Amino acid sequence: MILDKESNLIFDGAMGTMLQKYDLNPGQPPEVLNITRPEIIEEIHRKYIEAGSNIITTNTFGAIETKLKGTGYTVEEVVQSAIAIARKAAGNNLVALDVGPTGELVEPLGDLSFEEVYDLYTRQIKAATLTGKVDLVLIETFFDLTEVKAAIKAAKDHSSLPVICTFTFQKQGKTLMGNDVKTVAASLEEYGVDAIGANCSLGPCEMLPIVETMVSSTHLPILVQPNAGLPKLIDNQTVYDVEPKEFARYIKAMANLGVKWFGGCCGTTPEFIRAVKESLSLL
């Protein structure tokens, strides 16, 4: 299978939401489960494939040195285990290396320099490319253009894989750093990514106007991965207010705008992916 820019492709949904369904000991980063409970991660990947996902993202969102410190596992061990699991589950489908933020601010707002951030992502990218089993890099849930520039540069410098980058926006259409959709789109194009998009923070209804602006701001393929609505805390459990069929209706509206690639973020499950597949098949 290839990364087709002209066809509808379906990524997977949330990993964290699915992990909440298992009786696991909290306290460690979920990426450590790639080593301690690989069978659970593989089962989740397979459920998404069965629901209709064409692309599986590795359980490596936080597989970076700053977040794995103190776990007893290296970036290389966690990343390579994640890729092996995803590749086994994906079969002939594609595997995307999932790359998330460091969790720390970059200078001048924080303590990390651009070079330090670049080195952190370089280690993650090199660990992945050594396996030869990754088809693309998904740099997701970013809000800082400086940090994402370091991640993209690392991916471009140390691999020949396609790079997709998605940002997270607030309801008013700006990132936490105050950048609007058009600025983000122009910057990501300048950084040389192969596709851009929006994910997390918002449900599909709130994300629709952001997607409309993004469609008019770029000629690159667009990936959209909304949350399952807005979160609420009920009986100490985080629940979301959008059901799969409603989620899929908004996805179909985005597809009618010209968006080709879809998936889900927080709160989404294989049921959401199945609904998205059914909705797109009716276009």
> Are 35 and 81 in contact, with CB atoms under 8 Å apart?
yes
> Are 128 and 83 in contact, with CB atoms under 8 Å apart?
yes
CA atoms within 13 A on the CB side of 226: 31
Average confidence score pLDDT of the chain: 95
pLDDT tens, 221-243? 999 999 999 888 888 778 899 99
**Would you say residue 128 has pLDDT above 90?**
yes
Query: How confident is the model at residue 78, as a pLDDT?
Result: 98
Query: How confident is the model at residue 155, as a pLDDT?
Result: 98
pLDDT tens, 86-120? 999 999 999 999 999 999 999 988 899 999 999 99
Q: Residue 205 annotated as binding?
A: no
Query: How confident is the model at residue 283, as a pLDDT?
Result: 60
Query: How confident is the model at residue 28, as a pLDDT?
Result: 85
The amino acid present at 259, given as its one-letter code, is V
Break the chain into its structural domains and give their ranges.
Answer: 9-21+29-281
pLDDT tens, 133-184? 999 999 999 999 999 999 999 999 999 999 999 999 999 999 999 999 999 9
- CA 185, 188, 194 angle in degrees (round to 5)? 105
pLDDT tens, 14-31? 999 999 888 776 778 999
Give me the CATH topology for the region 9-21+29-281.
Answer: TIM Barrel (3.20.20)
Q: What is the percentage of the chain residues whose pLDDT exceeds 70?
A: 98
Contacts of 153 (CB under 8 A, 6+ apart): 118, 191
> Are 12 and 55 in contact, with CB atoms under 8 Å apart?
yes
Tokens describing residue 76: 């290389």
pLDDT tens, 172-231? 999 999 999 999 999 999 999 999 999 999 999 999 999 999 999 999 999 999 999 988
Query: How confident is the model at residue 1, as a pLDDT?
Result: 66
Mean pLDDT, range 114-132, rounded to an integer? 96
**Would you say residue 131 has pLDDT above 90?**
no
At how many degrees (to 10) do helices 244-257 and 270-281 cross? 40
Question: What is the greatest pairwise CA distance in the chain?
Answer: 50
pTM here is 0.96
pLDDT tens, 66-79? 999 999 999 999 99
Query: How confident is the model at residue 196, as a pLDDT?
Result: 98
In angstroms, rounded to a whole number, what is the distance separating the alpha carbons of residues 32 and 69?
A: 11
